[in-house]
Structure 1
């Protein structure tokens, strides 16, 4: 049996649209074994336990690339990453499925080949790369190749995910984005993306608030998220380092100093006053990425 653990991811990190991402310690776990025939699912949401299951689809894609044909499959799924909340649930399933299939077939593909196969499925690398490699990553996708590099984040920072009880599909969140942007908006985001990377790498955490600002996607998606600006404003009042829309949303991700033990308690009071229900998850950076175990 192959066991694979894949972390949740938070993409964009403010201005780094489709290129910045970070892995955090919330996980989906998959256990897969080859059986004599058929397709069996255990765990996960019943409505997804069929041949359209993203884990299974990703496994098939990997098997097709390698040329491996399993007799049958038993797939066990344990989900902790909430679906359609901007925390990389689909990326975790794609990475989990591809890695499981590769291991069953004998570990033929390299990590880079796994990365490119997963990004081909997902369409963009911002969640896939940190899910596979862990930590904070910068990645781009060009001519079916992924170019990526890890960012060394100085110690002293943690994250807090504010997760609402409503979902937002990536398709809907992308549909509201403009086809073109002003030149000045591009300059705005380039500068802040560079500042975000430098600030986290050097431990200049006081710069994160400025670095989190964005002109490419947040304001367009905010209209789809109940109380987005009210929550963001309250986070800033509570002295967070920075706050941004995680991926396509609707989760709002907050960056905090490690020793800040008051924020979660105070933001909980505020969130209770809103119409929607919000879950609060205090998180650390996951530096391992996807972990594989062979169980006899």
Structure 2
């Protein structure tokens, strides 16, 4: 196997999963990105981090435990050989542990960067294999799929292997993210879910998730009804009481608000709102960031 001289650059978008009723299936790529640059060296490992995870507060690792590095090692193993040394630069803009897919972005960036550093890597590890490997590393396909493909994705697992289809979002849909100054644990939030739900709630979720795909791809007037959830948000509310209260307040104003991923970020899927909307501003807690990132339609991009 031959490694390219590099550098190779990978740009990956933030994502929002679930989107209300589409639990573990629907995901949307957002116009907020991390960039990772890598090159093969003669020996050792160098990791440089800028932005999220580099300043005040919890900092990301700079060794083999770094999630990008771990994902690269897994991809190199799938490709058949690991290089003698690596130098990696991470420029992070996606907030960590906020429900915006920062872990999925790191995993996708690592897998794609490893593939990009191998001559003929696209043939050795095709796109379907990238999605499958990223899902193995992440555990759920609803974040890695939109990160890789962009736009709106519907993901599922068949015989243990992740698959996804992509749909083009309606150009009028403009997501707004309300990002709190605190983090949340995905493991804790998932641990609050029941092992079963009433049949009526499952049927309700199936109908609303189907409606949500239609609303996001051509019928945005249905977004408020389409984002109503009975599968996971109420069960997770104790882990993020402030976020749950904000979703309830915004929906009380007629805004299609949901918990982004496992939270605690709140996402508003609207075709007619803006960060200056008085209904939004009057309910947003002090210290929360209001961001209108737009939708990323390109997905992950690799450049040599």
User: Scaled by the length of structure 2, what TM-score is found?
Assistant: 0.90
Alignment counterpart, residue 32 of structure 1, candidates 31, 38, 49: 38
| Offset at residue 66 of structure 1 (A) | 0.9
Q: What is the rounded CA distance, in whole Å, between the counterparts of 1:181 and 1:238 in structure 2?
A: 28
Structure 2 counterpart SS, 1:223? helix
Superposition RMSD in Å: 1.6
Is the deviation greater in 176-185 or in 53-62?
Answer: 176-185
| Offset at residue 271 of structure 1 (A) | 2.5
Structure 1 counterpart SS, 2:165? strand
Q: What is the rounded CA distance, in whole Å, between the counterparts of 1:143 and 1:89 in structure 2?
A: 27
For the 8 Å contact 1:34–1:74, the answer to whether it is kept is yes
Aligned to 1:285: 295
Q: What is the rounded CA distance, in whole Å, between the counterparts of 1:235 and 1:181 in structure 2?
A: 26
| Offset at residue 154 of structure 1 (A) | 1.7
Residues 1:42 and 2:48 are matched in the alignment: yes
Q: What is the rounded CA distance, in whole Å, between the counterparts of 1:66 and 1:180 in structure 2?
A: 40
Flag structure 2 segments of 5+ consecutive residues without an equivalent. 1-6
For the 8 Å contact 1:234–1:267, the answer to whether it is kept is no
| Offset at residue 49 of structure 1 (A) | 1.1
| Offset at residue 272 of structure 1 (A) | 4.2
| Offset at residue 140 of structure 1 (A) | 0.1
Q: What is the rounded CA distance, in whole Å, between the counterparts of 2:174 and 2:11 in structure 1?
A: 21
| Offset at residue 199 of structure 1 (A) | 1.8
Aligned to 1:122: 138
Taking the TM superposition and a 5 Å limit, the aligned residue runs for 1:63-142 are 63-106=76-119, 107=121, 108-142=124-158
Aligned to 2:238: 223
Aligned to 2:276: 262
Residues 1:16 and 2:22 are matched in the alignment: yes
Q: What is the rounded CA distance, in whole Å, between the counterparts of 1:191 and 1:272 in structure 2?
A: 32
Q: What is the rounded CA distance, in whole Å, between the counterparts of 2:225 and 2:39 in structure 1?
A: 48
For the 8 Å contact 2:243–2:265, the answer to whether it is kept is no
Aligned to 1:179: 195
Alignment counterpart, residue 248 of structure 1, candidates 244, 258, 262: 262
Q: What is the rounded CA distance, in whole Å, between the counterparts of 2:191 and 2:275 in structure 1?
A: 38
| Offset at residue 201 of structure 1 (A) | 2.0
User: Scaled by the length of structure 1, what TM-score is found?
Assistant: 0.93
Q: Aligned residue pairs: how many?
A: 288
For the 8 Å contact 1:68–1:105, the answer to whether it is kept is no
Is the deviation greater in 130-139 or in 149-158?
Answer: 149-158
Structure 2 counterpart SS, 1:4? strand
Q: What is the rounded CA distance, in whole Å, between the counterparts of 2:254 and 2:181 in structure 1?
A: 25
Flag structure 1 segments of 5+ consecutive residues without an equivalent. none
| Offset at residue 235 of structure 1 (A) | 2.2
Is the deviation greater in 108-117 or in 43-52?
Answer: 43-52
Q: What is the rounded CA distance, in whole Å, between the counterparts of 2:258 and 2:283 in structure 1?
A: 17
For the 8 Å contact 2:168–2:297, the answer to whether it is kept is no
Q: What is the rounded CA distance, in whole Å, between the counterparts of 2:276 and 2:221 in structure 1?
A: 18
